[in-house]
Amino acid sequence: MTKLIFLGSTSAMTVAPDNYQSNMLLVSDNDSKLLIDCGSDIRFSLYDLGLSYLNITDIYISNLHSDKVGGLEYIAFATKFDPRCNKPKVYLSKDIAVDLWPKSLSGGLRYVEGDITDIDTFFEITKIGHDGNYFEWQGLNISLVKTVSINTNYYVMPSYGLFFDVQGTKVLLTLDSLGVDNLIPAYNQANIIFQDCETSERKSGIHAHYDDLLKLPDNIRHKMWLYNYDYGYLPDAVKDGFRGWVKRQQEFDFSLMAVNL
């Protein structure tokens, strides 16, 4: 039984007291856990599921926003100073890996016990290149799908969703996707899509907006679960042809889905 659990389902800056950032756990048949992104409220979202840093041995990072990497300092310190823990394995694209330490983590982690540290002090890093563009985890070949998280006049911030096949069920996690046109091939190939979707009146320029997703063909919308939404009013996604809005701690068992395909 391989399943996906949403630790939270709302946006990075959510003010919802009963929800968290949209980080996920991919749980394998042998109960190994891959944490998909590690945001700033990760210790609370794990705790509410009865878990802690002790359960986190493998992490995937999609981009450098705080809802993706803001909890890595907590994981780094907690696992380094707990003798029960080994270094967590972190998987990420090479172009994100080059900035993770100097631009996100070094400020709080660089000096420990009188020594100067680097990222290898805390984590076992796997940098994923564009030659294969995938990594293997618990028998799954997990491919990176390049998207764009921010596109300004000065800078394009890359982000990488994930695509994998579990017993015939092809799964796409968009994670952060500003546009949708470049994802059409992956949409068509997938059996189930977990799509980041903002719902605020003002478009942030970071995520696909609900109004834009409404323009997708019926056969694509019918495969989509929506998450990373803003706090407050939510449109009737089911009426509009989507699978629905993901809820906090909602689980998706891919072995059961394969039976129904």
Domain assignment present for 261: no
Domain assignment present for 135: yes
Q: Is the pTM of this model over 0.85?
A: yes
Which of 33-37, 51-55, 203-207 has the lowest average pLDDT? 203-207
Domain assignment present for 240: yes
- pLDDT above 80 for 254: yes
Q: What is the pLDDT of residues 14-27, one digit of tens each?
A: 767 789 999 999 99
Domain assignment present for 204: yes
- 12/22 Cα distance (integer angstroms): 8
Domain assignment present for 214: yes
- Smallest CA-to-CA distance from 34 within 55, 58, 69 is with 58
Which amino acid does the sequence have at 176? D
Cβ neighbours, 10 Å, residue 120:
10
3-state DSSP assignment of residue 97:
helix
Q: What's the rounded mean pLDDT across residues 91-119?
A: 95
Q: What's the rounded mean pLDDT across residues 98-106?
A: 96
- pLDDT above 60 for 49: yes
More confident residue, 260 or 227: 227
Domain assignment present for 174: yes
Q: What is the pLDDT of residues 147-202, one digit of tens each?
A: 865 555 656 778 999 999 999 999 999 999 987 888 999 999 999 999 999 998 77
Taking phi over 0 as left and psi of -120 to 50 as alpha, with beta for the rest, 114 belongs to: left
How many domains in the chain? 1
Q: Are 61 and 80 in contact (CB under 8 A)?
A: no
Query: CATH number of the domain that 126 lies in?
Result: 3.60.15.10
Domain assignment present for 221: yes
pLDDT band per the 50, 70, 90 thresholds, residue 255: confident
Which range marks the domain in which residue 28 is found? 3-256
Q: Which tokens hold the place of 88?
A: 């967590």
- pLDDT above 50 for 259: no
Side-chain-side CA neighbours of 196 within 13 Å: the count stands at: 31
Domain assignment present for 69: yes
